[in-house]
Chains A and B, each alone.
Chain A
Amino acid sequence: MRANCWMGKQKLSVHHVPDPQILNARDAIVKVTATTICGSDLHLYNGFMPTMQKGDILGHEFMGEVVDLGKGVKNLKIGDRVVVPFCIACGNCEQCELGNFSCCENGNPTGWIPEKLMGHATCGAFGYSHLTGGFAGGQAEYVRVPFADFGPLKVPSTLSDEQVLFLSDIFPTGYMGAEMCEITPRKVVAVWGAGPVGQFAIASARMLGAERVIAIDRFPYRLKLAVDKAGATDVINYEDQPVQDTLREMTAGRGPDACIDCVGLEAHGHGLPYAHDRVEQKLKLQLDRPLAVREAIFACRSAGIVSILGVYAGLVDKFPLGPLMNRGLTIRTGQCHVHRYMKPLLERIERGEIDPSFVVSHHMNLDDTPRGYDMFMRKQDEVMKIVLLS
């Protein structure tokens, strides 16, 4: 089969590789009908995530048709149309019982690596380095899906691929970010980053009843989409306006009640802090550029909530612990517990409360994936979300 392989920093190529096979009784093989490039894939593309290996197949958001099943999977049939959550969770361990699926204790066969780097193991994930298990990803014709009796969600034929594909990651991720903000109608929410996850965080915050949602980005077309489709009430383009002052003015000095970071470790900015982070990241003194989360902490109203969805890899420098502590802020974060949200969000899509396909900007063939990454990274042609079809 064809698959998009990571061959080094900013080097990708679509290779012919062996077809996946059943390795465990609870496996399924899924023929991919639609997959996409995630913003977090760019961290792999740009070489900021440790433990990548030449030849790794990327991609963790995909859906398709079940073509083969291990003998332990009884709830799926060959031919079922499923969306697959990006995190690999067993459904049996205590974390899964508690609903913390992205903290599953059995989903990561290379768990000893994050145990060394992060203190404890993380869950498994498709196509996301060897910190998360070394599983082949979804930017391919076929994918092996472990714990297929637990993860994949059957989707009705009345909905198109593009309407349900994002249930695999970005829609639940954005939703979880908003849910963590304990939104009530009187709350003002600010969202850093109006990329695909940011769009869903904004849309979810509105869905949960926030009266005012402020989108912060530097690309006018993204801010426009946030207003037109996701429902942002205000925007800040940080290239033109000072973020802190503008937020203070918009909230009459209080600051947003909740802040959502949808940016992660490749944040942009300007001035000395940005230069400092770039240099440290280049020298590998830190893996992350925590500009957005720093800004969010400074801006957040005292006793407010900072929800972190952006992906970070390691230890960061100049973290505003003092403001965080003295102003009684709460940090909420985590890789999305996708399994928790797939079904309720599918119901919202079925009821017509939201149509996630609004973020799709481009369609490409799987063979053009490397070009897609480059375009996505450079934000060319007003790119928002690229759907790959094989």
Chain B
Amino acid sequence: MKSVSAIQRIPYPDDAPDAALLSRGLGWFSIALGVTELAAPRLLARAIGIDPRGVAPWILRAMGAREILAGLGVLMHPRRPAPLWGRVAGDAIDLALLGTAAASKRTSLPRLAGAIAAITGVTALDVVAGRRTQRAYNQANRPVISAVTINKPPEEVYAFFRKLSHLPLVMDYLVSVEEIDARRSHWVAKLPVGTIAWDAEITDDRPGKLIAWRSVERTPINTRGRVTFTRAPGRNMTEVRVELQLGFLGTEPSATLARLFTRAQVKGDLRRLKAVLETGEVLHSDASVHRGPHPAQPSTPDDIARLERSRMSVTASPPTAIKGVTPGANPPSGSRTAAGTTPPPVTPSTSPPTSPIGKGVRP
């Protein structure tokens, strides 16, 4: 992983305007072709050597509608790779259909060959544009998947995070994390596809600043990631940013895949991290203790037992005392803590940690 700051990135690389120009050209081409297919399918069918009777005009009309949508997509977001990859997929459909047409006796093969050659050429251009745009897009986009601000100093947030066995408290898909030595750790996660385990190693570790890691064993899912802890401007709070790359079945990990599959999860993880560090534990509501939709009604004793079990399974993993975390004792100067209330003493507690009491912020 490049060691570029998480915040400062060059917005657009130099070759981006070129990529956008080609994309726009392809977008307009897409619309022109689409309109022709929609408006004059029979004429077009004859031109490419296909029998204009039967279903061919209807297929051409459908393809025309698809072309117009693809073209609009490209024109609306000429710097995004996704619409261009959409066009490449469309080209593949076109080529497949033309290939099928070759089997028909009523087809004029020379004309059809011309059409296939033309589409192949356009496909090549689409791929070129797609790759260029993708490269520019990858460079221009920040690698951060999600970020949160936590009202604790960076050293404290780092210390919590660095104790990897704490992570299942906030990452609800993790069953356990065991630290093998200073760098290596063993992770067990329960995913929709089943329980998987992998080893990870810390590749960079700067106390109070950042932790970077990667998965080491060949697992179905391999990751690289980095979490940075930055002091918030003018306050003794921490800005936590998570960068993540994800690869499946041994492919090179990519930020795009990570963004696609993990963003919602990481966001939730950070929200829970904030809650645990600031308030001592993750708050539940009557609805949120359930996986799916549930009315805001108290849970049955069974539901509560299930919640307790899931907490037990997390807290059963090795050290339970959260060191360096003093929920509720708010350090920043200038806080509105009323005079006369002292933060409660930090007692090593079984987790979930006991919460703060009567902070008396009420003016």
Contact = CB atoms under 8 A, between A and B. Distances in A.
Interface of A: 3, 5, 17-21, 23-26, 53-57, 70-75, 88, 90-94, 96-99, 105-107, 109-112, 124, 127, 130, 133-137, 144, 146-147, 149-150, 339-340, 342-344
B328 A92 contact: yes
B60 to A, nearest CB: 38
B172 to A, nearest CB: 12
A150 B283 contact: no
B295 A94 contact: no
B145 to A, nearest CB: 15
B278 A25 contact: no
A17 B295 CA distance: 11
A127 to B, nearest CB: 7
B281 A24 contact: yes
Contacts of A54: 295
Given A71-B354, A144-B298, A94 B283 contact: no
B263 to A, nearest CB: 11
B354 A343 contact: no
Contact of B361 (A5, A91, A136, A144): A91
Interface string B308-338: 0000000000000000000110101001110
Contact of A97 (B282, B294, B301, B330): B330
Contacts of B282: 109
Contact of A106 (B274, B285, B294, B344): B274
Contact of A137 (B296, B337, B356): B296
Given A56-B297, A57-B297, A94-B151, 10 more contacts: A23-B289, A26-B281, A57-B286, A91-B328, A92-B359, A94-B237, A97-B330, A111-B271, A134-B295, A147-B283
For the complex of A and B, list the 5 residue pairs with the smallest distance between their C-beta atoms, beginning with the closest: A134-B287, A55-B295, A72-B355, A109-B288, A75-B358
B297 A3 contact: yes
A131 B279 CA distance: 21
Contacts of A99: 336, 361, 363
B283 A107 contact: yes
Given A24-B284, A97-B361, A149-B357, A134 B330 contact: no
A102 to B, nearest CB: 14
A94 B334 CA distance: 11
Contacts, number: 168
Interface string B49-79: 0000000000000000000000000000000
Nearest to B149: A94
Given A75-B358, A97-B336, A110 B279 contact: no
A162 B274 CA distance: 38
Contacts of A55: 295-297
B260 to A, nearest CB: 17
Given A96-B361, A136-B297, A105 B355 contact: no
9 contacts: A71-B354, A72-B357, A91-B361, A92-B330, A93-B151, A97-B336, A106-B279, A130-B296, A133-B288
A75 B357 contact: yes
A105 B332 CA distance: 17
A25 B352 contact: yes
A75 B285 CA distance: 22
A124 B285 contact: yes
B267 interface: yes
A91 to B, nearest CB: 5
A287 B327 CA distance: 40
A70 to B, nearest CB: 8
A339 B275 CA distance: 20
Given A53-B293, A112-B267, A112-B268, A136 B298 contact: yes
A105 B279 CA distance: 10
Contacts of B286: 20, 57, 134-136, 144
B254 to A, nearest CB: 25
A293 B76 CA distance: 36
Nearest to B275: A106
Given A20-B298, A23-B284, A110-B288, A340 B363 contact: yes
Given A23-B304, A92-B328, A124 B355 contact: no
